[in-house]
Amino acid sequence: MQFLTCFPRALWVLSCALVATAQIDYSQYVNPFIGAEGPFPGQGYGGGDIFVGGARPFGVAKVGIDTTAANWSVAMLNGGWTPDGNVTAITMMHESGTGGAPKYGIIPQMPLTSISPPVNILDNLTYHQPRIGHDTASVGYFKTQLQNGVQIELSASRHAGIMQYRFPHGEKHVLVDVSHDLHLIQMANSTLVEKFNFMKVGSHTPDTGHTLEAGITVKMA
């Protein structure tokens, strides 16, 4: 009889322990930057080509910044992010940990606070932006600050990117440069070529078009 009395109590203690375990947020222990840097602090060379940005597990959208590199001869841009490079775009598709030549870095945007000279929107070398301070990343979230004062926050659903730009006072522009992708950035390190298959821009109508990037047709409407 004593055993039968204690048994429900044991089950109650066990159930309480299971509930307490389920309430622990293990995502707080995840560091998305692990593997992104190499053996030399502040450089991506020799790292794991890891994607750093906003994404869900097994999601199609991997939203992150694409960057240049201080030393192009040893650049590693497979995941888009490098610790020391200027931001060239925010893009919605990346690989992670693959090695080899970069791929994707497509469906790009770039927040700009000026489109006047010396900025030339046809030449991405004129609007690359250094970052200020340290990037912040957690599970499904990424934040960085550009030198032009724009704060960028990124996340994603399974099939869509979520981007929030906080502009300083003044001009506010978001450039969609469909010629941008990671493969061209590393191979050319120069003005990217125009790759529109079709584009229609009207002064009082929605802009539409499509382009072919990394084997994927990207449509805009």
The CATH number given to whatever domain includes residue 157 is 2.70.98.10
pLDDT score recorded for residue 188? 44
pTM (two decimals): 0.75
Q: Cα(137)–Cα(191) distance, rounded to whole angstroms?
A: 30
> Is 16 a domain residue?
no
Q: Which two tokens stand for residue 220?
A: 């805009």
Q: Cα(172)–Cα(113) distance, rounded to whole angstroms?
A: 5
> Is 208 a domain residue?
no
Q: Cα(148)–Cα(78) distance, rounded to whole angstroms?
A: 25
Q: What's the CA angle centered on 13, arms 11 and 14, to 5 degrees?
A: 60
> Is 10 a domain residue?
no
The three-class DSSP label of residue 171 is: coil
> Is 24 a domain residue?
no
Q: How would residue 172 be classed by pLDDT, with cut points 50, 70 and 90?
A: very high
Domain count for the chain = 1
Q: Which residue has the tokens 């440069």?
A: 177
Structural domain containing residue 165:
30-203+214-220
State pLDDT tens for residues 31-73.
Answer: 999 888 888 777 777 777 788 999 998 899 999 999 887 665 5
Rounded to an integer, the average pLDDT of 153-175 is 95
Residue type, 101: A
> Is 141 a domain residue?
yes
Sheet bearing 196-200, strands edge to edge: 196-200, 208-213, 216-220
